Amino acid sequence: MKLPSSHKLKDIAAIINCEFEGNPEHIISGLNEIHMVDAGDIVFVDHPKYYDKALLSKATTILINKKVECPNGKALLISEDPFRDYNKLVAYFQPTNYSLQQIGDTAKVGKTSIIMPGVYLGNNVTIGENCVIHPNVVIYDNCHLGNNIIIHANTVIGADAFYYKKRADFFDKMISCGRVVIEDNVEIGAMCTIDKGVSGDTIIGAGTKLDNHVQIGHDTHVGKMCLMASHVAVAGVVVIEDGVTLWGQVGVRSDVKLGKGSVLLAQSGLGEDIPAGKTYFGSPAGEARSKMKEVAALKMLPNLIKKITEK
């Protein structure tokens, strides 16, 4: 999330009432979680396992729960609870402002687009030309849709990221401040769910088609001309390059990459990157031909065991 205007380190520290290390005039222009950071951003870290990753990331301000050596050109915000204070900053710069109208006052819809009865459009939603949004679709605040898009009934675009920190007696929710961006010529089936980014964008690339009952997690980037059959579930921070096909009931874990033109066959569960142009199958998924041979071998196993035990 980019801030409405740049702020100085000393001013950000005052908002969350914490110490800081670095030049008080150091400039901060955004807030982002670790997967999406860029120069000018604040990133939070609250576990020693990830200190180096945060300190060496593109982020130039690190919200951290321990005094450490500050990298050159960066600044530190020292907090007892970085997760809590990151949420405070998100709430400060993007306060909750629910629209209680069916079509928000700040929503913008192209003149040639059709919005059917029961559709909800939140604050700052933009929809391009020649789109059809079917009944009871919900599009949350700040989402952006291009041209020639079809969204079928009861789909939800821009719900919060599934992102929690486990406390002693409850799960503490991370406030989502990102968006969903849907590019031109996309069609999305009925009862799909596409979550907004935690702090960046969830993107559905031009020409991509989603069947019914598809779930796309936060900050996932889907490329152009991809196909997803019914009941596909993709976790957060996944990169799906152009021309990828995911067949029915495929599941993809977070933070993996599917190379251009790759294919996941039905009911596969993916836990690792797929190279471009490869077809994978199974759970855990592997190269399809090898996995099919494994399945064939397993079918032979009972007879082999029987023969051995009969000797």
H/E segment holding residue 207: none
Distance CA 181, CA 150 (A): 14
CB 196 within 8 A of CB 143: yes
Instruction: Give, as one character, the DSSP assignment of residue 103.
Output: B
Backbone angles phi and psi of 14, in degrees to 5: -70, -35
Which entry of 7, 26, 144, 218 is annotated as an active-site residue?
218
Backbone angles phi and psi of 230, in degrees to 5: -55, 145
CA–CA distances in Å: residue 21 to residues 41, 43, 72, 77, 200: 16, 15, 11, 7, 26
Length of the chain: 311
Distance CA 224, CA 221 (A): 10
Catalytic (active site) residue 144: no
Distance CA 144, CA 124 (A): 8
Alpha helix positions (H), 75-187:
82-93
H/E segment holding residue 306: helix 288-310
The residues annotated as belonging to the active site are: 218
